[in-house]
Amino acid sequence: MGHVLFVASAARTIARSLRLNEDLAEAIGLAHDIGHAPFGHQGERFLTGIIKGIISKNSNFKKIMPVFHHEVYGLRVVDKLAKLDSERPGLKLTWEVRDGIISHCGEDFGTCKLEPGDKNKNLEAIRRKEEAGNPATLEGCIVRLIDKIAYCGKDIEDAIEVNIINKSEIPHKIHEELGSNNGQIIGTFVEDMIQNSYNRDYVAISQERSELLHSMIEFNKEHIYQSKKAEKYRQQAEENISLLFQKLLEKLQENQRFKSCDKDEPDEYNVYRVFRKFVYKDMKSIYDDSTPDELIVLDFVAGMTDGFVLRSFEELFIPRATV
């Protein structure tokens, strides 16, 4: 949430300075990562692996979701799954906000300029992030560019906090030119983006700042994302997601989507109680007989937090003393 609020706030500030639609920029910023799965980008790869297994048994699933990309899944979340109080699922967002969500990522990391893309694209037909192209609005382009700026600096701060890297390892030029913390880094880029985008039909940062951003991303790749410390628990996380998915699928099918059980009868495990409510109450108007069981479970697992995955796994797979 810290990253999302940084992006939304910075996007609104830039939009105001460029005399664009502040509300649109902020809305895209707040919603852009709503499709993220547990365990971040690794979780996306885990769910893609599960999807490939589903497709090998049910080729029709490929038409629904050939891979798990959080940008594309984010559109499903706001269109089909997210709820406001007791209303029917679906947030009824504008086309421009929905386009900003599905188009907020996928650029070459060397990019320093973004021009708006196709305003007539069919958002519902997009199945992979590469198909989304650039955002169709300047406000969406702002979010797409500021997103990687915000996560890059935040990932460095987080990596220092959990001892993946030391502060002394960060290239001196990054501190010198951009700032010593994420807030200062974002501020530097915000000023640069405003200066290089004012009264133009594109959004850009200077070549010098773009090169520094690129070097930050390369530093993060080598020292954070692909480090031994960061990969230490990858296998355990993947097994957690995979085993949990299979267990929930079995529960869904053995109870015929909870039609054959007493809905008021308490389950032994909290995760089953939450799952049952999700299927027969929260998403009652969304799922029908044509909806694959695997998609229902995927929706439920993809909406979990890291903590809920771990607690659910412990409930279902870790034995407890009974005497």
Same domain flag for 217 and 287: no
Within a domain: 165: yes
Tokens at 119, concatenated: 């305003």
Domain final position from 231, 248, 269? 231
Helix axes 2-17, 182-197, angle to 10 degrees: 30
The rounded distance, in Å, linking the Cα atoms of 53 and 298 is 13
Cβ–Cβ contacts within 10 Å for residue 166, how many?
10
The rounded distance, in Å, linking the Cα atoms of 148 and 3 is 10
CATH of the domain at 161: 1.10.3210.10
Same domain flag for 14 and 114: yes
Same domain flag for 293 and 243: yes
Same domain flag for 214 and 268: no
CA dihedral 217, 220, 221, 225 (to 10 degrees): -140
- pTM score of the predicted model: 0.91
Place of tokens 């969304």: 286
Within a domain: 308: yes
Domain final position from 184, 199, 231? 231
Q: What are the tens digits of pLDDT across the range 15-49? A: 999 999 999 999 999 999 999 999 988 899 999 99
Same domain flag for 108 and 220: yes
Domain final position from 231, 260, 291? 231
> Closest Cα partner for 148 from 194, 68, 214?
214
Same domain flag for 98 and 134: yes
Residue 264 has pLDDT above 60, yes or no: no
Same domain flag for 167 and 87: yes
Within a domain: 278: yes
Residue 108: the pLDDT is 58
Residue 200 has pLDDT above 90, yes or no: yes
The rounded distance, in Å, linking the Cα atoms of 241 and 250 is 14
Query: How many separate domains does the chain show?
Result: 2
Tokens at 292, concatenated: 């694959």
Q: Pairing state of beta strands 113-114 and 203-204?
A: antiparallel
Same domain flag for 264 and 188: no
Same domain flag for 132 and 153: yes
Residue 185: the pLDDT is 87
Same domain flag for 295 and 215: no
Same domain flag for 161 and 294: no
Range(s) of the domain holding residue 169: 2-34+82-231
Q: What are the tens digits of pLDDT across the range 58-89? A: 888 999 999 999 999 999 999 999 988 778 88
Same domain flag for 136 and 264: no
The rounded distance, in Å, linking the Cα atoms of 282 and 295 is 15
